[in-house]
Structure 1
Amino acid sequence: MKIEQIYTGCLAQGAYYIESNGEVAIIDPLRETQQYVDKANSENAKIKYIFETHFHADFVSGHLDLAKKTGATIIFGPKAQTNYEAYVAKDNETFKLGNVTIKVLHTPGHTLESSTFLLIDEHGKNHAIFSGDTLFLGDVGRPDLAIKSDLTKEDLAGMLYDSLRNKIMPLEDNIIVYPAHGAGSACGKNLSKETVGVLGEQKKTNYALRADMTKEEFIKEVLDGILPPPQYFAKNAMMNKSGYTDFDTVLKKGDVALNPDEFETVANQEGALILDVRTEQQFVKGHIPNSIFIGINGAFAPWVGALITDLQQPILLIVPEGKEKETVTRLSRVGYDNTLGYLKGGFESWKVAKKDIETMESISAEELAKRNEENNIKILDVRKEGEYKSERIEGDNVFHFPLDYINDNMNLIDQKTTYYLHCAGGYRSVIAASILKARGFNVIDVAGGFTDIKNTNLPKTNYVCPSTL
């Protein structure tokens, strides 16, 4: 028996490859599926099953493409309804994979169809669970993502409580836990940086598995502090339920080199969004007018999903050389399948062609402190709520809304005012500044963000929890 976790940091997502005696099961595959086919071929094995723990909301799964390539059966847990051929398993139903067995444990709560897959080894012993978004290390899945359900998040949280206590917690302490996500995922609140653990440790340390916890306490704690899900979550879940364009077609469509004139023509004719994925430092020094920055080296796909509201939006790319296919791939992982090409030769070719270029003013934290003393400037903090509450610049001239919700908050700021934007380190502030600049706002970026601001004489406020007063 062989188990391999295939972890993708940008999505904080774990897919799983399980092989026994020449037969393979893939759990929660990513959109680009050739990697699984190649791995099975290298092991002289055949992919027999594709198990989906639930209808994922934070990424588009590769189950359909993988099934077409291999003939493998797609398996969901009870209550799943799809617009394509899939096998909907019964609770406790088992599937033979070589010399091992995979048992379906229906664990609703994160979603109605959510299921945990119990791996039973060659000797009939429970070996591991692939818990999807039911159980993470340090947390459990958020119960507010069910597709078109009449159930409330409180109803689903109650189901999750029952699932954990009736299906997961009775299992042996030495069982390995393989979750679908780790730290950085928006599918939970406080996920561990570790991506593999054991159930006994979770019973001791995971707040949601406390033995003395009542259902009412569980519901309250699980729901406490949950922010609204990113706008693309419901759309990705529906794609996973209903179907989507095959990945090879999406890649072929997007991996097209365009010279500057062709690029400009397509942008104008198709109403395409120009997405610049270079570094924030490169973007501020020069970029195409009205382009948006979301750097490929950051949490690229989740930020695209949070900020670009239309999955069908035509997109043109400014990418570092050699990153063209990767960028199209990472866009497709969250359902953005309408990439029309990239600028051949990158931004340098645009400059050589003497096309219009804009820059963005970017200053140091020290310069921000100086200007704050000399003038009545406006400072906009785009960090997350928890970061802002923890420590921030003090003053009536400081405004705050998280980058995640920039599209909902533009009415709060004035196009006639200049805003100095900062985040924690500089990545998110340039994203925010690029969006605001493209929409006619006056912005100045603060390079280094709050990390550098801490070392200045700018007045700062620490948040004090009321319980400690």
Structure 2
Amino acid sequence: MQIEQIYTGCLAQGAYYITSNGEAAIIDPLREIQPYLERLERDQVKLKYIFETHFHADFVSGHVDLSRETSAPIVYGPNATCEFECVSATDGQEFTIGNIKIRALHTPGHTMESTSFLLIDENGKEYAIFSGDTLFIGDVGRPDLAQKAAHMTQEQLAAILYYSLREKVMTLADDVLVYPAHGAGSACGKNMSKETVSTIGNQKATNYALRADMTEAEFVQEVTEGLLPPPAYFGMNVALNKKGYESFENVLHLGMRALSVTEFEAAAEETGALILDTRKNTDFAKGFIPQSINIGIDGDFAPWVGALIADVKQPILIVSEEGQEEETVTRLSRVGFDNLIGHLDGGFDAWTKAEKEIDTVNRISAEEFAKKVKIGESKVIDIRKESEFCTEHVEEAFSKPLATINDWIKDINPKEHFYLHCAGGYRSMIAASILEARGFRNFTEIEGGFNAIGKTNLPKTDFVCQSKVLK
């Protein structure tokens, strides 16, 4: 028996590849399936089952394409209704893969179909649980994502999750391994650990939501407290996972169409496509195609695309570093952005060589900022998360998280200058590009963000340990 966790940092997502005696199972696969097909062939094993822990909201799974290519059935838990052929397992139903078994444990609460899969090894021992979004390392799944579909409140779903954990998960032996669907950085929980594997015993000892003396009321209050609104694209990804989607190969073909400068410009005018520039923020600041939005491929690319573009049907034109076109298309497809017109052949260099109009961002160093800013007089907007802001910030700064820019941008006074920064420059350049695309020019962005500002002698609030802030 072999278990491999295939972790994708950009999505903070874990897929699982399991083999035993010539057969395999894959749990919560990513959209692009070629790596799985190559692995199956290399290991000379047959894919027997594709297990899905629930209808994912934060990414588009590869279950449909993978089943089409391998004929392996897709297995969900109870309450799962698909618009393609799938198995809706009963609670406790077992599936044999080689010399091992996988038992479906219906664990609703995150969503009503949420199901954990318990692996029983060749000796009959309960060995590992693949907990999906029911149990994370240090956290549990948020109970507010399925409210509309389940016609229930988040408090009602949280109460169901309380009993799922205590009756199905916490009753397992302490040495059973815990393999969750997500880790730190995912929007599917509040405060996940950076660790991606644990044990039941460790989680009972350290996870706030698994305290032995915790009442249902306390659990509901703590799990629902401080939940941020889910990204707008979540509902659209759920629909794609339920109904099916365009083949990844077709999406890749569309995104890999190389457009000349003339074709690119014409496509932008004719389709109303969003121009997505995935270069580093340092390069984008020096010059970009007017109206472009910068979300760098080297950061938390896919989650920010989903959070800020929101509509997965939005037509997109890509500007990337040469050689990164396929990676960009792949990451966009993982969160359901399939309406790709193509990419600029030759990248931004081709645009400048054609002597087309370019735009820039007014960016200064942290040292210049420290010299120019007047605390109490100048307006400083900090777009980090509230928890980061509460930890430490420039005195008199305003907290305006990037995730809510579509809400606070309408309150910007176009005649009042302000300084803009995040932690390191990635998020503030996203914000700067959105601001400029909407006609705002009255700001200065700070290179290096608060990481660089912290090294200056500008007055800042007292440092507070972030773990205390999160509590």
Q: TM-score range by the shorter chain?
A: over 0.9
Whether the 8 Å CA contact 2:11–2:185 is kept in 1: the answer is yes
More displaced 10-residue stretch of structure 1: 143-152 or 23-32 = 143-152
Gaps of 5+ in 2: none
Amino acid in structure 2 at the alignment position of 1:359: T
Give the distance between the partners of 1:266 and 1:375, measured in 2 at CA. Answer: 46
Q: Please give the TM-score of this superposition, normalised by the length of structure 1.
A: 0.97
- In structure 2, the residue matched to 1:159 is 160
- Partner residue, 2:237: 236
Query: 1:209 corresponds to which residue?
Result: 210
Q: 1:286 to 1:375 in 2, by over 3 A?
A: farther
Question: SS at the partner of 1:408?
Answer: helix
Q: Which residue of 2 aligns with 1:29?
A: 29
Q: How does 1:10-409 map to 2 (within 5 A)?
A: 10-146=10-146, 148-373=149-374, 376-395=377-396, 398-409=397-408
Matched letter for residue 223 of structure 2: V
Cα deviation code 1:75-126 (max 9, x no counterpart):
0000111111111000000011111100000000110000000000111111
1:143–1:156 Cα contact (<8 Å) kept: yes
> For the residues of structure 2 that align with 1:132 and 1:229, how far apart are their CA atoms?
18
Count residues in correspondence. 465
- Which SS does the other structure have where 1:388 is aligned? helix
Q: What do the CA deviations read for 1:191-248 (whole angstroms, capped 9, x no partner)?
A: 1111111111111111111111001111111111111111111111111112111111
% of aligned pairs identical? 60
* Paired residues of 2:60 and 2:241 also in contact (CA < 8 A): yes
Partner amino acid, structure 1, of 2:67:
A
Q: Distance in 2 between matches of 1:206 and 1:171?
A: 15
Which whole-Å CA distance do the structure 2 matches of 1:437 and 1:226 have between them? 30
Between the aligned partners of 1:373 and 1:190, the Cα distance in structure 2 is 35
Shift of 1:374: 9.7
Cα distance, 1:416 vs. partner?
2.2
Q: Which amino acid aligns with 2:432?
A: A
Q: CA deviation at 1:321?
A: 1.3
Aligned to 1:439: 438
Q: CA deviation at 1:190?
A: 1.2
- What CA RMSD, in Å, does the superposition of the two structures yield over aligned residues? 1.5
1:253 maps to amino acid:
L
1:128 and 1:178 in contact (8 A); partners too: yes
- 1:151, CA displacement in angstroms? 0.7
Q: Secondary structure of the equivalent of 1:187?
A: coil
**Do the aligned partners of 2:392 and 2:464 also contact (CA within 8 Å) in 1?**
no
Matched letter for residue 456 of structure 1: T
Mapped to 2, the partners of 1:183 and 1:112 lie a distance apart of 23
Contact 1:416/1:441 (8 A) holds in 2: no
Question: Residue 418 of structure 1 contacts residue 441 of structure 1 at CA under 8 Å; is this kept in 2?
Answer: no
User: For the structure 1 residues 416 and 76, does the alpha-carbon distance in structure 2 shift closer, same or farther, using more than 3 Å as the test?
Assistant: same
CA shift digits 1:280-326 (9 cap, x unpaired): 00000110111000000000000000000221111111111111111
User: Residue 389 of structure 1 contacts residue 462 of structure 1 at CA under 8 Å; is this kept in 2?
Assistant: no
CA distance in 2, matches of 1:309, 1:173: 41
Moved more, 454-463 or 232-241: 454-463
How far the C-alpha of 1:366 sits from its partner, in A, is: 1.8
Kept in 1: contact 2:231–2:310 (CA 8 A)? no
How far apart, CA to CA, are the structure 1 residues paired with 2:276 and 2:415? 26
On the 8 A contact 1:138/1:207 being kept in 2, the answer is yes
- Where does structure 1 lack aligned partners over 5 or more consecutive residues? none
Residue 428 (structure 1) aligned with residue 427 (structure 2): yes
Kindly provide the amino acid, as one letter, of the partner of residue 363 in structure 1.
I
SS of match in other structure, 1:461: coil
Deviation larger for 294-303 or 354-363: 354-363
